[in-house]
Structure 1
Amino acid sequence: MGRLVPAVTRAFDILELFLEGEGKLSAPDVIRRLGLPRTTVHELLTTLAARSYLEAIPEQPGRYRLGVRAYQLGSRYAEQLDLAAEGRLIARDIAETCDETVHVAILEDLDVIYIAKVDSTHTVRMVSAAGRRLPAHCTSVGKMLLASLPEPELDARLTGAELTAMTANSITDPAVLRTALATIRRRGIAVEHRESNADVSCVAAPVRDRRGQVVAALSVSVPMIRWTESREDELAELAAKGARDLSARLGHRSAT
């Protein structure tokens, strides 16, 4: 685990003070509450204001309130909450169509986090839960999201990373993973054959926001007892449809 940076920690300590009371503070208020040196507080307040995380209150000289950048970050978080809610709606529609387990997941570093899940009604089905975290390289949603990263960002994430195996079929060689990701980019669909669960295969498609950025992936997971090549093609089309529908609900306008 990396070392915490003191200056960054102090900056966040200052920002979090604005969550209390009326949300308006002066430098002396911050100094008194946090016990920080006067010079340090003034430098941090000046920096935060310059980056629009704080703004000076014109009618109250020397006092600050949260700025527009803090609002933008909060709005971004709210969008993620909307993504989970909208994801559940679309996942339910897809699950009702194919009667298989449907997930929506986002990428965090080299892991995926499942933010929505709707189960199959079959007795034999994939066992998982919303909130679960798995290595991205072992899942169809994760490979879809990794394939959607700009090349420099993908390089930065993979450099020095250890690709651990979840099953005998998991990809553990970075070169093999890069080849697989290139294929996914061309096809627009990611497939996982028993790489995270020895009894399950999955297909996934990318979910885009209103700017066209890939923000999530939607997958359909099927136990191997119900998996065939023709079923893979059918579910790939269904996953792509679900991803398009979810993208549309997030404001994405397809070029076609």
Structure 2
Amino acid sequence: MEKSSVNECISTSLSDNQVYPQVCIDASRDYKIFNNFRRHPSYTQILEHVTEEQGSAYLQILANDPDIFAEMNTFKLNDNYGNPEMYEYPDIGLISPTTLRYIKVLVDIKKYFLTADNLNICEIGVGYGGQCRIINAYYKPVTYCLVDLQPALALTQRYLDNFILNSVISYKTMNELDIKLYDLVLSNYAFTELPRSVQDIYLRKVILNSKRGYITYNEITPKEYNSYKLDELLSVIPGSKAFNEEPLTYPKNCLIVWGANA
């Protein structure tokens, strides 16, 4: 398991808590665990805890984009694996609220950047690959680099191998990343849940070299992480702006976006 370089040996993220990585390893190796990992209590502490009510709010937003809404049955295939908690929603039927959140991010990508076609994308903190699959179900990125702890990447590969994807997919840990120019970097909460020492690595290797970016910002790390605050990130990332998180899921949450076309 990766550790940061600080003397206190702070873990690399809030998800690097030993229990969550072990669930990821077990699910990646055992089909019985994989078939139910999205309901595992130790997994849902980190992911898959979007509420039914939040799902309704996401649905209201994405329903305003008829082209994306028309692909709902394709997006719902995300829920064929892992046995997520699903709810009945008007006009679309059963779906995981987490999947609705991923589709809402897709709506934002279309809103801010117009398209993800022909882009080289890097996602920091990838869960089980659900966001990657949603983007690939609608757009055709050239490459998609998934960055996370090795146990999470193993589960992500097992999940994504069930789908035909448009992108050439790569899986990398923090230390395997090269300094590279990306067209778009994404991070849903994960980047802002890292210690500053690890954030600096991602800033140097990925974020400051990316033409466009979309980060869902939150402020939940312990004091010893010394994570970057919103005003600091806006000053560090050229051209970045803060936008409201809709719906607001936690106090101080917002979106950090740069390179927007609209």
TM-score bucket of the superposed structures, by smaller chain: under 0.3
Indicate the structure with greater helix content: 1
Q: Which has the larger radius of gyration?
A: 1
Q: Which has the higher contact order (CA 8 A, sep 6+)?
A: 2
Q: Give TM-score, length-normalised by structure 1.
A: 0.28
